[in-house]
Structure 1
């Protein structure tokens, strides 16, 4: 006979008997995990009709409705019912059901991210239920309390305490197969978190073997946990299989909070496969359902995942939107969690054994780590902004098809940058120009391009680079300049003008190599960064090359004591000549056997030795040489090298 029919038959035998009321609601609580939502709802409706004239009906019905809403993820309704039930049973002096209600409240508060309230609830539940006699019909809620305490400490990464509670639950349930299976599942999850995968797999399988027919709530959880296990073992197909089996059970039975976890897991798995369409599908399902149920912890997980997915797609607007929401919801959860953890130190339950001073020190480190993580998230988005203003590779290749860019920032954001702007002449005067990436012919269009090194690196360098990048664009688009020397003069004026607005003296600026190329006609101007041209030394020799250095002016773009106009060099290049623009980061890198600088001389020799390689192969080779030279030493500066072949 099904669990539903067992409970239904018991209702039909009732004849205004108070004991029958107590027995029914007790059995309903035990069988609830084995019933689907509609069965629970129908049985409580029948109970409301059957018991309405029996004293105590309202309090038991309210408590049972609270339990029903808890397991259907309707946590706001559940909290309302459970708090009312606590008030009713407290007045009646029935502490046992008060303890059971607190156990269910822990689930609700935990799912909503209200961890302080969740911890208070589970402590109250344990304090009451551990004093309850085993003969009491509601003593079985102590099983749930041990399980929830274990799960709570697992979330807090208190793995030894979590294992302690799950093992207490096992000892209490030597004969109860279903509860034994739950505790084994709990232990399996802890070992998943500690990456003891063989032990985790053993516990999860033992749990699945003990799951009773109809125990679909636990079954769905074990499937999801096995999916996590297979993902950690890089068995993607198995991970998908078990997550989908879990999701099917959860959606069919309205276990929406658990289903959202499956959505998030599936989104992450598809992202790992680079299946961005399905990753976005499940990620958006997670956000939508979490919003509907106001599940804050699930929301910040889902928003974080979507921000990473949209970063991969290149949709920076949506990446920013989800990143902001991630920070918003994470802050809510984090503040509650830190408060709750400090409150936990003063609790009078089993956690009193913790060393309070040591724990408070650890919590301060947790807060510090959180701040660092937040900063890194901000830097990561700043990097996306900086990358967005750099010319895209495909456009660089469109106007300079035989070229490469080796760009290696020292930090998340950089002071070095590269720049390009095609121009078209509309008057005989060379300085009257139109710029942009419209429909100009790449083969005949004059192209300006540069490798720049701004003062500093990291965040300060990146901030200066934005000012300098903007000044470059203004000199072309606003002041209609196209001669490299005149452009450097103008951006010097613009940068000085910008920084003179500050009350403090700002001497920041940049070193730069700026070129204008049309066909084989090259113009160049440099601020501390020279131009290198590699050409064949003798046309009759296949691999004989020479390097010519066009010296830069010994002054930066920016404030300088003896400033003078930048010299504009005009060079006629030959076919197969290669020009190189670079910052000083490569040559200044420490490394090698003796930990010395790479130096300009050695870099020139490397470039001369790789002229038989394609531009892309040169880039790869230079990158390999740099990493090999650097070894385990820290990168000292940003690196930017541009190579263009005629």
Structure 2
């Protein structure tokens, strides 16, 4: 039915949070009027009973540990002395007593604070102050583990759905790139299910615009930043056009700072040490490193502006290639001036010119025998070694060298790079 929005999570049953009452196991109990002989008889009948609650007017006042009790009663003359005395003689007078409505999270904290006795002997569960059952430490740990597994499952389901949204956001750019540049390759590999890197590609009658950006963080926080930065970039292109990469970096910089309230000198803190989120002080310091470039079809010139990003250009006949460095200033951060101007650089291209740009996930990856960063030098060597191959093969060669360098080490960051050959 058209016009109806469907919540993708609505059909899933909600997970009911258990409480202490769910752990209550009905067990025998004794009253303060009963004797230690009565306790012996209860333990004799209920051989799997580890602890016996003691109540007074149905209200729990103590807990008798089976092992401790039998150990005491087995001592010489103890039965003669204590058999007819009140069962409170060997009772723990300070057991953990919790209300039936207490959440499992709160119960877990209480049990940990109470110490290992609560986990070993268990805890008494009461409703309106009256005894209803015993809870066991092992049972509590199992429930906590199940709850954590369910929470993780829900979180991963949400992240998987977020990944679908993020990939859909990038799909148009990838399809436009494939239709515009016959010899090009784009690699986008988030470290986690979603990532903090994004790319943008748009074709126009007189040329094309491309951007690679590495937002603060990775995973879910990074993915949120990609949505913010990508939408600001799209808006800037609509308003200013795609032909001035430096001006577009300025526009995105202003947008991030205004949206997140990240103005210089506004990283304030409250007396309790928490960052302020209102009243003019920013609680965040987020932004991105980026490479923006415009290719003019008529002049065959590439105009580049970078924020902590560089462009590697390998011209035909040039054995080494050239690194074109951007400004050493990130986009959107608190310390980045609102009116900071990124300068454009122009690169002439001709048939066979190879251009390569990457986020720092490629360069900063730790690996090798000395466990150091992959670095720009190894990146350039890998590109030069395959310089005559199509862009797809060059990107694959770079990935293979990079993965061999990484070896058993964990991926440090999202990995995104783009290369194309001019024709």
Residue 556 (str. 1) matches residue 330 (str. 2): yes
Question: What residue in structure 2 maps to residue 27 of structure 1?
Answer: none
CA drift at 1:632: 2.3
CA drift at 1:579: 0.6
State the alpha-carbon separation in 1 of the partners of residues 305 and 232 from structure 2: 16
Unaligned runs of 5+ in 1: 1-316, 425-444, 539-544
State the alpha-carbon separation in 2 of the partners of residues 345 and 634 from structure 1: 45
Distance 1:450 1:359, change over 3 A: same
State the alpha-carbon separation in 1 of the partners of residues 294 and 242 from structure 2: 11
CA drift at 1:628: 2.3
2:162 to 382, 392, 397: 382
State the SS of the aligned residue for 2:405: helix
Deviation string, structure 1 residues 229-281 (Cα, Å, up to 9, x no partner): xxxxxxxxxxxxxxxxxxxxxxxxxxxxxxxxxxxxxxxxxxxxxxxxxxxxx
Kept in 2: contact 1:450–1:513 (CA 8 A): yes
State the alpha-carbon separation in 2 of the partners of residues 613 and 364 from structure 1: 55
Distance 1:389 1:359, change over 3 A: same
State the alpha-carbon separation in 1 of the partners of residues 153 and 49 from structure 2: 30
Question: What residue in structure 1 maps to residue 57 of structure 2?
Answer: none
Kept in 1: contact 2:329–2:336 (CA 8 A): no
Question: What residue in structure 1 maps to residue 362 of structure 2?
Answer: 586
Query: Runs of 4+ in structure 1 displaced over 6 angstroms?
Result: 352-355
Greater strand fraction, Structure 1 or Structure 2: 2
State the alpha-carbon separation in 1 of the partners of residues 241 and 418 from structure 2: 25
State the SS of the aligned residue for 1:410: coil
Deviation string, structure 1 residues 119-150 (Cα, Å, up to 9, x no partner): xxxxxxxxxxxxxxxxxxxxxxxxxxxxxxxx
Distance 1:476 1:606, change over 3 A: same
Unaligned runs of 5+ in 2: 29-45, 51-121, 123-135, 263-276
1:468 to 209, 213, 229: 229
Kept in 2: contact 1:386–1:413 (CA 8 A): yes
Residue 410 (str. 1) matches residue 191 (str. 2): yes
Distance 1:590 1:490, change over 3 A: same
Question: What residue in structure 2 maps to residue 335 of structure 1?
Answer: 16
Question: What residue in structure 2 maps to residue 639 of structure 1?
Answer: 415
Kept in 2: contact 1:406–1:623 (CA 8 A): no
State the alpha-carbon separation in 1 of the partners of residues 369 and 325 from structure 2: 31
State the alpha-carbon separation in 1 of the partners of residues 9 and 27 from structure 2: 35
Question: What residue in structure 2 maps to residue 370 of structure 1?
Answer: 150
State the alpha-carbon separation in 1 of the partners of residues 182 and 24 from structure 2: 63
CA drift at 1:496: 1.6
State the alpha-carbon separation in 1 of the partners of residues 357 and 363 from structure 2: 13
* RMSD, matched Cα: 2.9
CA drift at 1:451: 0.9
Aligned residues between the structures = 296
State the alpha-carbon separation in 2 of the partners of residues 341 and 586 from structure 1: 52
Residue 510 (str. 1) matches residue 288 (str. 2): yes
State the alpha-carbon separation in 2 of the partners of residues 507 and 340 from structure 1: 41
Which residues in structure 2 correspond to 1:137-286 (within 5 Å)? none
Residue 459 (str. 1) matches residue 235 (str. 2): no
Greater helix fraction, Structure 1 or Structure 2: 1
Distance 1:339 1:625, change over 3 A: same
State the alpha-carbon separation in 2 of the partners of residues 387 and 604 from structure 1: 29
State the SS of the aligned residue for 2:247: helix
State the alpha-carbon separation in 2 of the partners of residues 592 and 345 from structure 1: 57
CA drift at 1:621: 2.3
Q: Which has the higher contact order (CA 8 A, sep 6+)?
A: 2
Distance 1:374 1:479, change over 3 A: same
1:547 to 314, 321, 324: 321
TM norm structure 2: 0.64
